[in-house]
């Protein structure tokens, strides 16, 4: 077979393969390119994957010593969906929250909620009661599926918010209902008969923004399934661009290890949701451990790894120590944060059979965005890659919304049916971000003549700590709760392991003193542990301000990094 260029391969697939045929659609008054023949909604992905999973007979989901075939998983989803309608009284349009670690129950709950036309509200499993209270009030979710630690944090909120709590795993006996009992007592058979429009809301995922409170990103069914089939198409065009040798062995069944939280798009969309039509097996880790990840990948012929850059670096270190090259792995991706360029060649050397990959996407785009793999990435380790075809469009804009020239700094702005519908209850923020179907991402970069994007900066005051987005104002708001703090500024501090760590400078009342550990203990009641500053600078004079009398974070950060004496 003669190799095609990427552009030729895309044209060939969309014109000859009905699965990836395109058409134009009108969504809320905006015209988009979209896939024509894909499932209309997320529950449709479950049915679309039946044949790819051996008519349901192949093992689909593994967690520690538990295992389910695709048929068993589908049956569990259908039973839970019926129980939600019959026992919990839930129906179309109801918002139902999930708050737990990466359990199989989470995957089952997501699809069951979707199958009755409900809207999944993903709650960050690391949130404090204060943060959970905000998201539940904002989303108006009244039913929450929760495991033990989350159930404990939700108990103080139950009466005030009128919550119905459904216990999962180690929360058994502490909720009004139990997920296992709901499934066991439900009717078997097919999914409930519900008409779900492709433009109905699928999920609300919370993403840190430039305001102190997280934003609820409203994703539609159309957005999620178009993102999934954009990634699925990559596996179809790859052999057209790089044809296998005639005597090459048959490709292994795709199998993914999930190591990042399922309340983030990095895990839910390009791993879990993609696994359904791709015929891939899913293995969940209870807790990240690099050596255990190597063992799982080696012993279970896992082909796909997608984690934050810190995890791929630790996987590499563990594999080297164990003398493993994980020959079955054909995809080693990074999401959530930029991987240090120096690691790219090292990963390619350590895992010679794997295509080392990078990706950029957002909760607001259903994780769809920019990426590259293999030789392209090794040759351009500082780049984010090219726009994933075929439904996306890209512009690089200045502050006034004008296109910038190639090679000039501009804001990455994307248009596709995968873009969010809105920010929940935030019309002004929605209008600022979504303009005529174009999503202004807040990320600044340059586009070259070959279509590669290099991200250089962020307009948003966001710290990306090991893939977790942390709003500076969120940290500052918690710091200001301390009675001795007059003023606070949060900023990112370079970190060799996590990429960025949280730093903060605070002005204290005259005569007040506090250690970093004391401040950390105070903050634990107000923000999740990953948001607590790892580096804290104390002063009694005013923080540096700019010409408009606003706090100058960059100047404060530079001053702090040069002044170790003020660090506590």
- What secondary structure letter does DSSP report for 56? T
For residue 390, say if its preceding peptide bond is cis, omega within 30 degrees of 0.
yes
pLDDT at 210: 47
Q: Give the tens place of pLDDT for each residue, 518-527.
A: 999 999 999 9
Q: In the chain, what are the domain boundaries?
A: 77-219, 462-566
pLDDT at 547: 57
pLDDT at 341: 83
CATH number of the structural domain 462-566: 3.30.300.30
pLDDT at 497: 87
pLDDT at 212: 60
The whole-chain average pLDDT of the chain stands at 94
Average pLDDT of the residues in 270-280: 98
Q: 77-219 architecture in CATH? A: 3-Layer(aba) Sandwich (3.40)
pLDDT at 546: 72
pLDDT at 551: 79
| Run of H or E residues at 557 | helix 553-562
- What secondary structure letter does DSSP report for 382? T
Going by their DSSP bridges, the two strands 281-284 and 59-63 should be labelled as parallel
User: Under a CB-based contact definition with an 8 Å cutoff, are residues 530 and 368 in contact?
Assistant: no
CA atoms 95, 99, 105, 107: torsion sign: positive
Q: Give the tens place of pLDDT for each residue, 4-32.
A: 999 999 999 999 999 999 999 999 999 99
- Helix 472-479 vs helix 516-523: angle between axes, to the nearest 10 degrees? 100
pTM above 0.75, yes or no: yes
Cα–Cα distances in Å, from 417 out to 427, 549, 559? 19, 41, 44
User: Under a CB-based contact definition with an 8 Å cutoff, are residues 420 and 209 in contact?
Assistant: no
Quick one: three-class SS letters along 276-289? Answer: HHHCCEEEECCCCC
Q: Give the tens place of pLDDT for each residue, 284-340.
A: 999 999 999 999 999 999 999 999 888 999 999 999 999 999 999 999 999 877 787
- What secondary structure letter does DSSP report for 352? T
Confidence at 549, pLDDT banded by 50, 70, 90: low
What span, in angstroms and rounded, lies between the C-alpha atoms of 201 and 132?
A: 21
Average pLDDT of the residues in 113-132: 96
Residue 174 has pLDDT above 80, yes or no: yes
Average pLDDT of the residues in 84-90: 97
Confidence at 412, pLDDT banded by 50, 70, 90: very high
Residue 349 has pLDDT above 90, yes or no: yes
What span, in angstroms and rounded, lies between the C-alpha atoms of 300 and 67?
A: 12
Residue 424 has pLDDT above 80, yes or no: yes
């Amino acid at each position: 077979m003669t190799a095609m260029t990427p552009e030729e391969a895309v044209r060939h697939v969309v014109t000859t393969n009905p699965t990836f045929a395109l058409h134009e659609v009108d969504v809320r008054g905006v015209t988009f390119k979209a896939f024509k023949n894909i499932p209309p909604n997320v529950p449709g992905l479950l049915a679309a994957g039946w044949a790819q999973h051996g008519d349901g007979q192949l093992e689909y989901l593994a967690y520690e010593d538990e295992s389910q075939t695709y048929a068993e998983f589908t049956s569990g989803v259908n039973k839970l969906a019926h129980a939600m309608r019959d026992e919990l009284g839930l129906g179309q349009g109801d918002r139902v929250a999930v708050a737990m670690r990466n359990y199989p129950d989470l995957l089952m709950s997501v699809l069951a909620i979707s199958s009755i036309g409900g809207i999944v509200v993903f709650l960050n499993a690391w949130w404090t009661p204060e943060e959970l209270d905000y998201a539940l009030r904002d989303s108006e979710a009244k039913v929450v599926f929760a495991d033990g630690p989350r159930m404990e944090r939700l108990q103080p909120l139950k009466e005030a918010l009128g919550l119905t709590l459904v216990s999962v795993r180690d929360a058994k006996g502490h909720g009004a209902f139990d997920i296992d009992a709901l499934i066991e007592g439900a009717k078997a058979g097919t999914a409930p008969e519900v008409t779900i429009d492709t433009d109905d809301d699928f999920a609300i995922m919370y993403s840190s923004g430039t305001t102190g409170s997280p934003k609820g990103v409203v994703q539609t069914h159309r957005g999620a399934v178009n993102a999934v089939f954009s990634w699925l198409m990559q596996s179809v065009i790859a052999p057209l661009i790089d044809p296998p040798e005639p005597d090459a062995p048959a490709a292994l069944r795709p199998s993914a290890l999930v190591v990042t939280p399922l309340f983030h798009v990095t895990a839910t969309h390009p791993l879990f949701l993609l696994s359904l039509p791709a015929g891939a097996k899913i293995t969940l880790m209870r807790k990240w451990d690099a050596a255990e990840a190597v063992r799982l990948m080696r012993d279970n012929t896992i082909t796909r790894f997608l984690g934050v850059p810190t995890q791929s670096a630790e996987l590499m270190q563990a594999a080297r120590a164990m003398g493993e090259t994980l020959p079955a792995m054909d995809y080693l991706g990074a999401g959530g944060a930029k991987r240090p360029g120096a690691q790219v060649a090292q990963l390619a050397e350590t895992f010679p059979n794997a295509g080392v990959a990078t990706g950029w996407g957002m909760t607001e785009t259903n994780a769809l965005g920019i990426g590259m793999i293999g030789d392209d990435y090794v040759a351009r380790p500082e780049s984010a890659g090219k726009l994933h075809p075929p439904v996306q469009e890209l512009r690089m804009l200045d502050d006034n919304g004008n296109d910038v020239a190639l090679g000039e700094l501009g804001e990455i702005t994307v248009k596709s049916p995968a873009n969010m519908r809105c920010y929940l209850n935030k019309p002004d923020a929605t209008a600022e971000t979504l303009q005529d179907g174009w999503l202004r991402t807040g990320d600044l970069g340059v586009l070259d003549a070959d279509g590669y994007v290099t991200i250089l900066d962020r307009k948003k005051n966001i710290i990306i700590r090991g893939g977790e987005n942390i709003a500076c104002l969120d940290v500052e708001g918690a710091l200001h709760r301390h009675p001795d703090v007059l003023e606070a500024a949060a900023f990112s501090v370079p970190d060799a392991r996590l990429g960025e760590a949280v730093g903060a400078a605070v002005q204290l009342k005259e005569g007040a003193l506090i250690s970093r550990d004391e401040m950390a203990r105070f903050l634990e009641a107000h923000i999740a542990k990953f948001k607590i500053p790892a580096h804290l600078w104390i002063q009694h004079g005013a923080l540096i301000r700019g010409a408009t009398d606003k706090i100058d974070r960059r100047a404060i950060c530079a001053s702090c990094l040069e002044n170790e004496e003020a660090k506590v």
